[in-house]
Amino acid sequence: MTDREKRNLRLGLAFCSPWLIGLVVFQLYPIVASMYFSLCDYSVLEKASFIGLSNYRDLMADEVFWQALRNTLYYAAMALPLGLIVSFATAVLLNTGVKGMTVYRTIFFLPSLVPAVASAILWLWLLNGKFGVVNYALDAVGIKGPGWLSDPLWTKPSLVLMSLWGVGHAVVIYLAGLQDVPQQLYEAAELDGAGWWGKLRHVTVPMMSPVILFNLIMGIIGSLQMFALPFIMLPGGQPARSAYFFAVYLYDNALPYLQMGYASAMAWILFILTLLLTWIALRLSGKHVHYEGA
């Protein structure tokens, strides 16, 4: 290596050093520390003591852990496909040449910018079983509205409904992908006699499959980490822990209970679960995702 190359290397490392320091201090070190603490009895206030896999064994026998995991997976199984369908359908509609479409796009995107706390307070008012706007509107058409946040049967569907309100980010990503679909493919489909549904099925969806896969993976990660809405709207997972999510239980163990080792073990289980579901999605996508460059 010449002196000039060495000098360029030193300058490059100097410019990158703030990012490298941040990566090591705020990401790599916490990851390694959490792995170690997951094998320890650690309450933050006292020195950690190594206990091996005891935290993981205790989690396997923890009924609250399994309840929180079931709630999270049940929510993800409902919210993820509905979110993908609603956001994709909205993007297709917003991609048409209707007059004033820019205004409509802005309206659909704005809810995704609302902070989680403000969104939770708003939906607490909308879904109030006695005085909520949603039930008031249902009563106006002769439908008896349920106790959205008081009936265990409706708590998770209520959260799914709220998640659909904030699909604006996915809609924007779909809109960007729709701009890259080659127009000549639509023209070829029209020459073959394809209508609106035929073009959507045989052109739009295959060409958008990489974007759909990306939103699917992001949706898996986001749904498994669901925290703010159930934490604010249904503290303690009430009623009957029907909305006690995995991330909320992890938070309770880490801070209120000061069981940092137990919480670290939960965090690694969540990481492995997310990695597994993402791997399954990537494996199943091999025959269904079309990359234009290929």
In whole angstroms, give the CA distance from residue 140 to residue 142: 6
Contact (CB, 8 A) for 123 and 233: yes
pLDDT confidence of residue 294: 57
SS3 217: helix
Half-sphere exposure of 8 (CA within 13 A, CB side): 5
Contact (CB, 8 A) for 149 and 158: yes
Q: Please give the chain's pLDDT, 294 residues, in tens.
A: 788 888 998 999 999 999 999 999 999 999 999 999 999 999 988 999 999 999 999 999 999 999 999 999 999 999 999 999 999 999 998 888 778 888 888 888 888 889 989 999 999 999 988 889 999 999 999 988 899 988 899 999 999 999 998 899 999 999 989 988 888 989 899 888 888 899 999 999 999 999 999 999 999 999 999 999 999 988 877 777 888 999 999 999 999 999 999 999 999 999 999 999 999 999 998 888 877 665
The full set of domains in the chain, from first to last, is 62-287 (1.10.3720.10)
pTM attached to this predicted model: 0.89
Nearest partner of 204 among 224, 174, 233, 232, judged by Cα: 174
pLDDT confidence of residue 293: 60
Segment (H or E) for 102: helix 101-109
